[in-house]
A and B are shown apart, each in its own frame.
Chain A
Amino acid sequence: MSLIEIKNLSKIYESGEERVTALGEVSLNIERGEFISVMGPSGSGKSTLLTILGGLNHPTEGEVVVDEIPIYQLPLEKLADFRREYLGFIFQSFQLIPYLTVIENVMLPLAITERSNREQVNMAVEILEKMGLEGKRKRLPDQLSGGEQERVAIARALVNSPPVLLADEPTGNLDSKTGREIMELFRSLNEEGQSIVMVTHNPESVAFSSRSLHLRDGKVVKGDPRQEREIGSGP
C-alpha cells in the first residue's frame, strides 16, 4: 500500500462565470521514503496539488488517501488533527512567527498537544541540534540568516516526526550555496526514511529528489525527466 494515493484529483476554481481548472484528473501514488519533486511553470497547479495533499484545499473531485485515510472524508477538525500528526509543512519564505524565538517557533506544533513543557523543549532541542541551530534557540527569526531561518522552518516541520514532509519552494529565497546546503539536508533526511514532497522551480533542486513530476495546465505531463516517462495524466 502506497503512503499517499491520489485518485482522479481535480480542482476547479470558479469566479462568476469563469472556471479555471487548476488540476485535472491527476492520479499518482507516492511510496514511503520517496523524495518527490514537483516542477512546472507558474499556474501549472503545483501549489494547488501541495495544498490538496496538505489537507488544506478540498478537491472538486477525486480523493487523497494518506496511510489508508481518505483525508477529505474527515470532518474539518479531524482534518486539522490529521495535518498535525501526519504532515510537516515548509512554506515559501520560511513563514516563521516573528514574535516567537527559534525554539518557540519549533515548539509551535507541540503547543496543542498534551506533551509537557519539558518534553516539548527536549524534542525541539533535539531537532535544532540536528539542524545545527542549538546555539541560536533564544534568537528571534529576524536575527537569523536566510539559511538559518529555512532550517528553523524545517525543524518546525519535523519536530512532530510526521510521516510526510511537504515543502513549497524551500530554496526560493536562498542564494544558490545555501539552497544546495538545504537540499543536502533534505537528501539526508530522505536517506533516514523521511518521505518528502517538494514543489520547486529550481532544476538543481530536482536533482536531489528520487522522482520528479512535471505539471502543465493542471496535468502531470512527465514523471522522471531523466527517463522521459509519462506516469499519469487525465484523458
Chain B
Amino acid sequence: MRLRDISINNLRRRKGKVLFLILGLTIGITTVVALVSITRMMNEDISNKLDEFGANILVIPRSDDFSLSYGGLNIGGVSVDTQTLKDSDIQKIRQIEVRENISTVSPKLIGVVEVEGKKILLTGVLFQEEVRLKKWWKVHGTIPKSRDEILLGNEVAVKLFKSTNDSLTINGKRVRVSGMLEETGSQDDFLIFGDLGFAQEVLKKPGALSLIEVSAFCISCPIEEIVSQISRGLPHAKVTAIKQTLETKMEALGHFKKFSVGLSVIVLLIGGLIVFTNMMASVNERKREIGIFRAIGFRKAHVIKIVFSEAFIVGLIGGVAGYLLGLGVSILLGPVLTGIKGGRIFIDPVLGVGVVLLSVTMGILSSIYPAVHASKMDPTAALRAL
C-alpha cells in the first residue's frame, strides 16, 4: 500500500462530495476550452472571410509628390513619375515567402481624364480582383467585362448625367457604361472604373501602376511581417499597412479574447474556491484520521502528500472531463453563439494537455492551505477526542 491508495480509497468513500469537487473544476475547464475553441473558430472565420474586409496593405511608388489622395492616403507618382510601379510588380508580390497569406492583389492606375468636357479621375483596375476586394460594392447593371466598358461611381454618374448602357468619351475613346455603383461613401463615388489595360492606354502609361492594394492576413504572424517582405521584393515602392481595415474586426475579436480570459479566470477562481472549501471541510472531517496517521508515525509531508494526491486525482478527472465537455459545448453551441456557419472546432492535443495541467495545478494550488492545515493538526487534540 502506498499513500496514493489512501487518497484513492478516501475519494471512493466520499463519492457525492468528490463529484461536486470534480464538477467545480470541470465547469471551469469546460469554460476555458469552449472560449478558446470558439475564439479560434472566430479567428479562422476572419481568415476565411478576409476578402470581405478589403485591402489591408497599400503599395505605392516611392515619390516626393503627394498630389493625389486615395482612401485617405496620399499617392505619389501620379503627376510626377519619379518612381513607378509596373505590372511585373504584381508577380513579385505574389512570390514573397508568406505568399499563402496573400488573398488578393489588386493593381490600379489612376489618372485625370477628360470626359464630356469635365476632368475626372479614371481608375484602371483588374475587375476580377477589385470585386473580390470590395465585397460591399453594389452595382446597378454589370461589372465591365471588356476594355470598352466602364463602371461609374455614384457621384460621377450624377455629375455626368449618365446611366447604365449610356455611352461616353474618355480622352477621345468611346466606351459604354455597363454599371453604376450605389453610393459607397468613399472615394469610389468620385471615380470612373475601367479596365487596367484601357486606363494604361488612355493615360498613355503602358505597364504602369499608381498603386497596388493587397489583402493579406496571417493568424500566426503580424501584418508587419508581410509588409516587410513585400518591401524587400519592391525596393522602389512604399508599402503601408492599412491597419484600420482588419483592425476593427481584430479589435472586436481582441475584446472577446479579453472577455474570454476574464471569464475563464473568474470561473477557474470559483472552481478553485470550490476545491478549497471542499478540501478544508474534508480535512476538518478527517481530523481523527489525521490524528491516527500522525500517531502511527506519518510525517507532516505524508499528510500533505495524501491531500495533494487527492487534489491531483480530482484535477486530472476534472481536466479531462472539462476538455471533452468543452469540445462538445464548442461543437454544439459555437456556431449558434457566433453565427458562424460551418466553423471548425479543432481537437488540439496541446490545448488538451494544457487544460488538464491547468486543472491539476488549480486543484493542487487550492489544496495547499488545507494540506498544510491538515499537517499541522495536533495529533493529541485528535486523540483526545477518541
Q: How far is the CA of A93 from the CA of B297 in the complex (A)?
A: 19
Of residues 25 through 66 on chain A, the ones whose CB sits less than 8 Å from some CB of chain B are: 47, 51, 54, 56-57
Q: Which of B8-16, B61-69, B85-93, B361-369 contacts A (4 or more CB under 8 A)?
A: B8-16
Q: Could you say which residues of chain A place their CB within 8 Å of the CB of B380?
A: 51, 56-57
Rounded to whole angstroms, the CA-CA distance of A190 and B248 in the bound complex is 86
8 A Cβ contacts from B1-47 to A: 1-3, 5-6, 9-10, 12-13
Main secondary structure of the interface of B (DSSP, over half): helix
Contacts between the two chains (Cβ within 8 Å), count: 78
A93 proximity list for chain B (CB < 8 A): 386
A131, B361: Cα distance in complex, Å: 44
The docked-state distance in angstroms from the alpha carbon of A81 to that of B300 is 11
Nearest-CB distance from A116 to chain B (Å)?
10
Evaluate contact between B296 and A104: CB separation under 8 angstroms: no
CB-contact partner of B296 in A47, A57, A109, under 8 A: A109
A205 at the interface (CB under 8 A from B): no
Contact with B along A90-117 (1 / 0, CB 8 A): 0111010111100010011111100001
Contacts of A92 in B (CB 8 A): 386
Q: A99 touching B292 by the CB < 8 A rule?
A: no
Q: A83, B383: Cβ atoms under 8 Å?
A: no
28 A–B pairs (Cβ distance < 8 Å), ordered by A: A51-B383, A56-B379, A56-B380, A56-B383, A76-B300, A80-B300, A81-B297, A83-B296, A84-B298, A87-B297, A89-B292, A89-B296, A91-B383, A91-B386, A92-B386, A95-B292, A97-B292, A99-B9, A99-B10, A104-B5, A107-B1, A108-B296, A109-B296, A109-B297, A112-B3, A112-B302, A117-B2, A168-B386
Please list the residues of chain A having a beta carbon within 8 angstroms of any beta carbon in chain B: 47, 51, 54, 56-57, 76-77, 80-85, 87, 89, 91-93, 95, 97-100, 104, 107-112, 117, 120, 156, 168
Residues of B within 8 A of A (CB): 1-3, 5-6, 9-10, 12-13, 288-289, 292-302, 379-380, 383-384, 386
